Structure formats: C-alpha cells, structure tokens
Structure 1
Amino acid sequence: MNLFSRLKGTALLLGLLLVAPGAAWADVKAPAQPASPTLVAGKPGHAAVASANFIATHAGLEVLAKGGNAFDAAVAVASTLSVVEPESSGLGGGFMAVLRRADDGKEVFVDARETAPAAVQAKDYVNPDGSPNRDTALNGPLSAGIPGAPAGLAWLAEHYGRLPLKTSLAPAIRTAREGFEPDPRLRKAIADRAQIIRRWPASAAKYLPGGQPPAEGRKWRDPDQARTLEALAEHGRDGFYRGPVAEHLVDAVRKAGGRWTLEDLAAYQVKERAPIGVDYRGYHIVTAPPPSSGGVAIAQILNMLAGFDLAHMDGVQRTHYVIEAMRRAFRDHNDYLGDPDFVKMPLDMLLSPYYAAGLSQSILPDRATPSSMLPVTSLFDPGMHTTHFSIIDKDGNMVAVTSTVNYELGSAFVAGDTGVLLNDEMDDFALVPDAPNVYGLLGSKANAPAPGKRMLSSMSPSLVLGKDRCAVIGSPGGSTIITQVLEGILAFIDGEDAAQIAAHKRFHHQFLPDKVFVEDGTFDAATAEGLKRMGYELTPRESWGFMNVVTWDLRSNRLDAASDPRRPSGLGKVQ
C-alpha cells in the first residue's frame, strides 16, 4: 500500500508529498513551459526523489532544500542507503549512474563499478573438481572487489554537484551516529546470513549485537561507518583510498585471507563512459553501457520489438514477441560482454537495427523457440540485493543510480573498525567459464577475472526522454534487472504513471534456463494457457526488485515519484 504523508520545509515551500515509503516530490509547480523541438524543454520548478528507503529519500530532499542539485541529492541518498540498507548497497560496493545535466543536455554514464585486486588468482574460486567454489566467491574478503562507491560519490560532488561533499554526506553521518530503527527486511537479511556473519568478529559485533540481529523497535547505531564517512567528507576520495582508512581496510582484508593491497585502493579510478542511446516509438532511451550488460540487452530488445506492432496484438502474441526478444538478447549477453577496458566487444553489431531485424526474423509467430544452444543450467534466486534510486530536480537535472554489494549483505565481511561491509562482486566474473554464477547467468572468457578488471553487471539505470514526457527508472533484482527495467520502459511509453510502472506485474526470460519466470497475477488464465500452448514453461517467482521511478509530464510540468509497493511498509522512522 502507498503511504501518504506531509512534511514541512521552508526551502521546499509548500512541502513534500510522499508516494510510498521511499518516494517523494515537492509539489510546488512552476508555470508550464511551452514545448520546443528539443527533446526535453523547460524546468519542472520542483523536485522528485524515489528510493527504496524513506530515510534515504528524506536525506536527498534535505540536500535539495539546502540548494543542492540532483547530483548532490544522489550523494546523500546513496551514502544514507549505505547506513540504512546495507543488505543492498554501501561504501564497500559500487554503483552505475546515468546522468543528464539540464543546462547543456550532457548525458553521461558514471562507472563506479568494483574492480578485481591485482593479486587475483582464479584458483581461489575453483573447487578441486573444477566446479565453482561458491563459498570463496560469495563470502569473506576473497569475494570482495575493490570498492568504487566512495570514489563515485566524490566524483559526483566534484564534477556535477553544487554543494561540498561534506554537506551532501552529512545526513548519512548523522543517521549513522544518532541511529535509526532497522526495517524488517534488514533484520531478516541479518538473520538469514547470521551463520556466515559469525565467522568474523567485526561482522558479528556490528550486525549481531549481543549475538542476535537488531531487535524490532530498537534504535541501531553505526559509529564505525560514521567515522569512515567523516574521513571521506573531510578528505574526499583520499579519505577512503589513502591514509588511515585505506590502511585499516587492507590490514583487515589480508588478516582474513584476502589479497588487497594499498596500491589497489590508490589506483582505483571512476570511469566516465558514453551511455547507450536507442530510439523507440518516439522516445529516446539513455541507458548503461558495458561493463553493464543491461543497456546493451535493453537496446537489443527494443530494436527487435520495433519491427512489431505490439499495440495491436492480443496479450498472448505481444508477450510472445517480448519473451523471444529477451531470449535472444540474453544469449548475446552470455557470449560477448565484459569490461570495455579489457575486452573488444562487437557493440556496433549488437546495437545495430539491422542485426536486430535479423534476430527478429528468427522469431516464429506461433510458437516458442527452444534455448537449445547451451546446456540448461540451474537458476539461483537473484534476490533483491541491489538498490536503485531516481531523481529529477527543479532545474530538470536527472540521475538514475543503481548501487550494489551483490548478494544479500555482500560478503558479510566487515573490514575491522572501518565499519565498511565489503561486496562479494567477484562472483559476477565468469570464475569458471560457462558455469552459472549466483544469478544463474553464464559467462565466457570476456568476463573472466583479471587484475584491475571490472566484472560484468546487470545494473540498468535508464532515462526515457520524449517530447511530452520523461522518466528516470531502474531496479534491483540480479539478472531480472534488465527485464524489469525493460518492462517499466514499455509501460511508461504505453502511458502508465509512476505508481503504475512501479507496481507493474513482471515476467522474465534469460535464455537459460529455458523458462519464463512469472510474478503472481501477471497473466490471466487465458493468456497463460495461450503461452503454454506456444511451448512456454511458466514458472512462478515470488521475489522481484524494488523499482523506483520518477516521471515528468512536460505538458503540465508535473513530477510524480513512486517506490515499489512490493517493498514492505515499516521501513524505519526519522527520529
């Protein structure tokens, strides 16, 4: 259910109307701007933030009220999520962001993805029988890549923000010091991972006070992470990647059997890359390039679907073509994609409308195409252990950020007294070629680990730009991120509003295993039966990502923000 609440704030004038626990917009409206031939014209005059946690959303709104822009707000939201939602993201992880700057229309992809340490050794992740070692790939310091999130936050503040980094990090520092009430999802994540957490004293001390997960209704504080955030606020990226914090991180990792060095941290660099752009039904979609696989797959699917008149098809036929486009895009995902700094990829081919037209020709109109090119693999539940937030500010700046520590609570390893929970992104490499990772995705040598290399990701932060309407969209959900964002884009283009898009029922196909994973209620009985007659195996799936969407209607100059209603209520309180 959506939660409606009213907050007061002088800088936000009339206040902030909240739609769902993590979504908000300032409902002060400027006069509508006349449309121009440019893709996005005018300024909304008010701001909107949608994140997975109300405390983080409120942090973004606080920074906007202090004169910050969308990029400052992104720093506030991301750093606060590190405190209140560590099961999904944090300083010990990384993020990918698509930005659009209003004053000059600059669109850029900011890659703050983690990297492999220089001393990475593939043998650490392989059992004696040659199978993947899931324990070292998912738990403890060997599973952790060099974090990119702190450098990415400093980069956003320095290159795109208006406020000092210290100002934008202040809400996160205050929340960590003063405490907050953990929501049910965080308490459950800690309980689920308690056995692993107990392996390391610093992890147990942080997440299992008194030997148990934080109690319901009790305030929880994180003073160690507050100190690390303060070092970042005071010294910028060097506050994390050099000096005492870096020394403590490396010391803790190496004592526990990891391979990090001070040189690994000092060498980390944020990358700015050209985003992928694709046109579909009068809209321009701006999305993530490699090392995200998401944008390539979304562009391929939209290019394939452009050849079909989906609007005039019944539900069975429309879904059939969408599934088949998903199937073909994920096949290419498995074969070609990796870190662009290490791998030459045929992106011109993959993104070509002519290539997509050829793929479309292979879709049979009346039956499913079996995914028989590779042996069927087992699918692990991708879970929701990533987070996404969307922001549009009063000037029309847009930012879509997807951030992660990979699996639930990352590696479960807290690096000593830094309070930093490390990611387990090494599992996103193809540690054993053609063997599935924790999300059931296959990989080739294009995504094999190497020193300094960035592991492939499904994160798909995206902007949808049109003459009359725009959207900022993204979702967590492992391999299902790609299809969930795709379906959200299609729903927006079909005219749905932010709340409808976030609540939209979902389905997913990723080439292997050859199944369509379906949320309860997605298809009526007739549609489900029609798809089964075509040869599809429909498999129920309960867990889906918590999408966060902001839409902008340029005709009325209205912003709408919505957080996924699948997210349970009781997300924490501002005290």
Structure 2
Amino acid sequence: MPEPQFRLPRWLVAFFLALSAGLVAAAMPALPAGAKPAGVAIASANAQATDAGMEVLRKGGNAFDAAVAVSAALGLVEPESSGLGGGGFFLLRRASDGRLVFVDARERAPLAATRDMFLDPATGEPRPRQTIDGPLAAAIPGLPAGLVHVAANYGRLPLAESLAPVIRLAEQGWIFGEKNRAMMGWREAQLAADPGAAPLLLVEGRTPEVGTRMRNPDYAAVLRALAERGAAGFYEGEVAERLVAGVRAAGGLWTQEDLAQYRVVEREPLVFRHRGRTVVTAPPPSSGGVALAQTLQILDGFAWAGRDEAERLHLRIEAMRRAYRDRAIHLGDPDFVEVPVALLTDPAYAAGLRAGIHPEKATPSEMLPGISAIERPDTTHFSIIDAEGNLAAVTQTVNLPYGNAMVIPGTGFLLNNEMDDFSIKPGLPNAFGLVGEDANAIAPGKRPLSSMTPTFVIGEDRVAVLGTPGGSRIISMVIQGVLAFDEGLGAEAIAAAPRIHHQYLPDQVSLEPGALDAATRAALEARGHVLKEEPRPWGNMQVAIWHLDSGRVEAGADPRWKQVGKGSTGEGSIFR
C-alpha cells in the first residue's frame, strides 16, 4: 500500500521549522583533539585544476585558498561544466574551531523574471528550448561572488595569489581534452551560432582536436578585476556593463540592478547521524542533502548484515523513490518558500516512509500520492583536505553542458542555463527528467532548486569529502558513495564503483553498462523493478579521505574520464 502522505499541513511545517536550528546545532560533529592529516589531498575533474590547487597549497595557502584556485581553474578548463557565468555550493569545515558552513553561491532569477515566462500564453505549453539556449535561459551568476567570499572570510592568501595560477593558465593556454570534446559534440551547432562562443571555444567553426592549446586572455582579465576590486570587479563597472548590454541586446532580461543586488548566502549545513557517523551536507536550495538524509535514514532502519545484493538494492531503490518524490513536492529556495527540512530529515519521518516499503515488491511511483506527472548531466565537483584538517567539498555548474551556449564578447566565459532548474510548469519534467511543483516555481531574485550535494562523512576512524556532477543522478551517486564508505572502501574504489539510479519519475531503474550481474538483475525484475541499462556511464565523483589514526590521506578521481581528472596528495610537512 502507498503511504498515506500528502502535502504537509502549514502548522506542522511551521512547528518543524522552529525546531530546525536546534536540531542542527545538536548534531555538530567533533574530531579527536589534535587530529591532523599527515598530508594534503585534492581530487578534481581536471588535472590542470588539481595542479593549480596544489600550487596554492605549496605557497602556504589553506584548503579554502586552494578551493578558490581549483574552482576558477575548472571554470576555465571545463567550460562545459562550470565557470564564472554559473554558480556553486562551497561546503567548508574550518579546523581551528570546527566551524561548518555552507556558502551558497547559487544563481538567481533576474528581477524581471515571471512565473510563466517560458510558457506560450496561447497554449500554456513551454516554448521549445528557451530554458536551454540563449539569453532568457541565463540566471544571474553567483560563482564570482563565491570566490571572493571564500577567499576573504576563510582563506589565508590574498585573492590575487590564489588566482595567479589560473590567470597564468588562461594567458599561456590550457589543453583541450577528451571530456571537453565529448561534451561539445551535442552543443557544437549552438556554440557555432553564437558570436562570442564560436571564436573562444571552436577552431574554424568546429570542435577542437584533443590536445589543442586554448588561450583565454578575457578570462584572465575578469579574474584580475576580481582580485583587484573584489565582487565589484564583476558585479559593477566595466564587466557588469558589458554583460548586461550583451544579454539585453540578445533579448534577455538582465539589468545592472540584478548584478548589483547579488549576494552570497551563508547557510547552516544539514547535519544528521547515519550508522554511527556524522554526515554534513547541503541544505536547500539544494535538494541533495534532504534526499540524502531521507534515503540513508530509511535504510538505517533495516537490518543490513546478511542481506544479499539484490535485497539491498531493492531497499535502496525504494528509499530513493520516496526521497525524490518529496523533492518534487516540498523543496525550493528557503528564502522564498517554507521548506520543512527538520520534518523531512527527522528519523521518525523516515520510519513512516520505511513502513510503506514492501520487502519483496516494488512500489509503483504512481501509487505514491504527490504530483500529477508522469540526461544529459554535467556540473563539476572537487574535494580538498589540507594539512591542518580544513575540508572543502565544492560542486559548481553552468547546468547543461556548455550552459546556454552564449558568451558575451570580451568576458571569456559561457553563461548558464539555470532557469531550466526551476519548475516552469507544475509536473513538467526539466532537461534532467526531474519534476517539480510550486515550491520551485520561478520568482524574481529566487534561486532555483539544485541537486548538487557536496558532503562530508565524519566517523571515528575516517573522514570523507565527496561529491559529483550528474544532474538528477548526483543524489543517488552520493548516496552510493556514503554507503561504500560505510563498507570501508577507499577513495579510488568509491569513485569507481558501478552506479544505479531511481528518481521517482520516470519509474525505472537506470543502470550503468555492466553494473549488475544477471542474477541480481533477475531478482530485481522479479520484485517488479523496471531496469534500463544506459548506453554509457555517468558522473564524475571526486573523493578525498583522511584516516584519523595515522593521518594518511587519499585522493580518488573518477576513472570514467581516463587521464582527465586527477587525485593528488602531498606530504604535510611541505604544506605547513
């Protein structure tokens, strides 16, 4: 039977909102006194970015200075995944006082945005591709403000020093790689049609060859403006004027006020207990942390030892089905809507969801009360541990590969298409197949709901820093990463593990090629699960692990993009 759950009553939402601050504070983790890593670790999706971060650590910077360097470098060398025209989330732990903070540098809707701006007024149906390509798809970028904020409030070095390796890389040239080429394949025509993107990213109108050196002096100039003037170097003055003029000339809505009003928001991370460990993760406007907490706490109520692989997968799929259903109904920007985080992440609520799971049968998604509706994922993530025990898990994006395929000439970066992450019509799937309701509707200045889930897992013996790109699949990958960490796997093994995914709608289990053996597939199908093996693998998980007893650190980059990402470690004495 389906659980008897519908939209939560307002009085119940208000009650749990009032409790949420106390619940978070009570769960704050403490590491053993004097615990310090014996080295440093950086895992990122591109070796050029990892190297930039390690250079900053060698200069005497901490994990947060290195995060600024890696973030800015990824925006340069992975333009398909992130950049100054996008946004991101910085999950940080400061070793000196144990402070945990979630720096929300998510994009915002323009102030002129409206609830139905992408719908045809005559039919009420979406206008084709307007949330994906061109100026209306772009929300106001947040990553530049995030870089400045992290450097000023948590870093040790001047911003100019943290950005120096990236400025040099932009001027001397970065190397176009296999991932750049693969992701450009389905966006080449859109990039070629844009007068700013074509000369910056294409060679004679076509995708560059792997190994091509790509220079970007405009990107270096914008980074210099940030280093010299802080956020004003991007959100005011020449850069801002150029961005607004270019977007409006193309038919967009941006104004100088949109940029001038942008602010980073510091939020309390979502913190909960799981199998004797503390999990620190992303709060709204990310949906990832809530779904992670729900799924793991549902699973914590089942006896795990002795179950075979098919039984464990069945329970995980059913838990994810329910978490993704709640994502569609309840989650949005907490500055605009009441998000019942404390209720949705309460173990008692998880127990209620658990009670509706049949141990031998799949629950069809249509039987779960909720919304009336029935990947080309990108984004990027990196994980850092420094020699003091500072931690940084950072996920950043321009949404779909190569964002909205638009570069304002003279800026050196693509704009995002994050407006597609809003629910443009209740129950209508976005580009990742995710559905939503009014909580994630478009509103002026609102941040769209995200799946990005940077996460720490703090146990008595080990600490993990992890995250991944992957659109709607981010959450299911991080769930799997935490469960693999529970089993004792190392950083490289966690990043490499085969993946499965279920997101409530469509009602199917996606599998990486060869992820399950024939017997396990048959056992899941016998329970009523519809399995779909995808033609290619997904995600790009980056994991760093700190062993508290020995101080040893590990860095594991996802092997799915061979010789592109890089996990790097170094001896602590060099970096103190």
TM-score normalized with structure 1 length: 0.90
Match of residue 408, structure 2, among 406, 411, 415: 415
Q: Does 2:223 correspond to 1:264?
A: no
| In structure 1, distance between residues paired with 2:464 and 2:125 | 43
Deviates more, 1:345-354 or 1:502-511: 345-354
Deviation at 1:209, TM superposition (A): 3.2
| In structure 2, distance between residues paired with 1:134 and 1:72 | 41
SS across alignment from 1:416? coil
| In structure 1, distance between residues paired with 2:31 and 2:438 | 40
Residue equivalent to 2:471: 478
Match of residue 228, structure 2, among 227, 231, 234: 234
| In structure 1, distance between residues paired with 2:508 and 2:192 | 37
SS across alignment from 1:365? coil
Q: 1:176-575, aligned counterparts within 5 Å?
A: 176-372=170-366, 373=368, 374=371, 377=374, 381-383=375-377, 385-541=378-534, 542-569=536-563
- 469 and 571 in structure 1: CA distance in 2 versus 1, 3 angstrom threshold: closer
Q: Deviations over 1:530-557 (max 9, x none)?
A: 1110000111122411000001111121
Deviation at 1:200, TM superposition (A): 2.0
Deviation at 1:432, TM superposition (A): 1.3
Matched residue type, 1:93: G
Deviates more, 1:366-375 or 1:231-240: 366-375
Q: 1:76-87, aligned counterparts within 5 Å?
A: 76-87=69-80
Deviation at 1:45, TM superposition (A): 3.3
Q: Is the 8 A contact 1:202 1:415 kept in 2?
A: yes
Q: Is the 8 A contact 1:410 1:424 kept in 2?
A: yes
Match of residue 134, structure 2, among 109, 123, 140: 140
Residue equivalent to 2:31: 39
Q: How many residue pairs were aligned?
A: 532
SS across alignment from 2:112? coil
Deviation at 1:300, TM superposition (A): 0.6
| In structure 1, distance between residues paired with 2:433 and 2:394 | 24
- 376 and 124 in structure 1: CA distance in 2 versus 1, 3 angstrom threshold: closer
SS across alignment from 2:175? coil
| In structure 2, distance between residues paired with 1:185 and 1:131 | 34
Q: Is the 8 A contact 2:47 2:564 kept in 1?
A: no
Deviation at 1:302, TM superposition (A): 1.1
- 160 and 136 in structure 1: CA distance in 2 versus 1, 3 angstrom threshold: same
Deviation at 1:382, TM superposition (A): 3.4
Matched residue type, 1:276: L
Deviation at 1:420, TM superposition (A): 2.3
- 188 and 318 in structure 1: CA distance in 2 versus 1, 3 angstrom threshold: closer
SS across alignment from 1:206? helix
Deviation at 1:570, TM superposition (A): 5.4
Residue equivalent to 1:160: 154
- 193 and 40 in structure 1: CA distance in 2 versus 1, 3 angstrom threshold: farther
Q: Is the 8 A contact 2:318 2:363 kept in 1?
A: yes
Q: Deviations over 1:374-423 (max 9, x none)?
A: 5564xxx232x100000000000001000000001000000121112100
| In structure 2, distance between residues paired with 1:133 and 1:176 | 37
| In structure 2, distance between residues paired with 1:444 and 1:170 | 44
| In structure 2, distance between residues paired with 1:217 and 1:162 | 35
Match of residue 169, structure 1, among 153, 163, 170: 163
- 135 and 40 in structure 1: CA distance in 2 versus 1, 3 angstrom threshold: farther
Residue equivalent to 1:92: 85
Matched residue type, 1:300: Q
| In structure 1, distance between residues paired with 2:502 and 2:257 | 41
Deviation at 1:38, TM superposition (A): 4.2
Q: Deviations over 1:318-356 (max 9, x none)?
A: 111111100000110000000000000222210111111
Matched residue type, 1:213: T
Matched residue type, 2:526: R
| In structure 2, distance between residues paired with 1:318 and 1:123 | 42
SS across alignment from 2:465? strand
Q: Is the 8 A contact 1:376 1:514 kept in 2?
A: no
| In structure 1, distance between residues paired with 2:239 and 2:417 | 20
Deviates more, 1:389-398 or 1:165-174: 165-174
Q: Report sequence identity in percent.
A: 53
| In structure 1, distance between residues paired with 2:450 and 2:256 | 25
Matched residue type, 1:482: I
- 571 and 536 in structure 1: CA distance in 2 versus 1, 3 angstrom threshold: closer
| In structure 2, distance between residues paired with 1:571 and 1:292 | 25
Q: Deviations over 1:151-195 (max 9, x none)?
A: 000000000000011111111111110002200221233342121
SS across alignment from 2:263? coil
Deviation at 1:529, TM superposition (A): 0.6
| In structure 1, distance between residues paired with 2:373 and 2:339 | 25
Residue equivalent to 2:47: 54
TM-score normalized with structure 2 length: 0.90
Deviates more, 1:178-187 or 1:424-433: 178-187
Deviation at 1:216, TM superposition (A): 3.1
SS across alignment from 1:284? strand
Q: Is the 8 A contact 2:173 2:216 kept in 1?
A: yes
Deviates more, 1:368-377 or 1:90-99: 368-377
Deviation at 1:199, TM superposition (A): 2.7
Q: Is the 8 A contact 1:208 1:214 kept in 2?
A: yes
Q: Is the 8 A contact 1:144 1:422 kept in 2?
A: yes
Superposed CA RMSD in Å reads 1.4
| In structure 2, distance between residues paired with 1:212 and 1:175 | 23
SS across alignment from 1:403? strand
SS across alignment from 1:417? coil
Matched residue type, 1:530: A
SS across alignment from 1:117? coil
Deviates more, 1:161-170 or 1:185-194: 185-194
Deviation at 1:448, TM superposition (A): 0.5
Q: Deviations over 1:479-510 (max 9, x none)?
A: 00001001000100110000110001110111
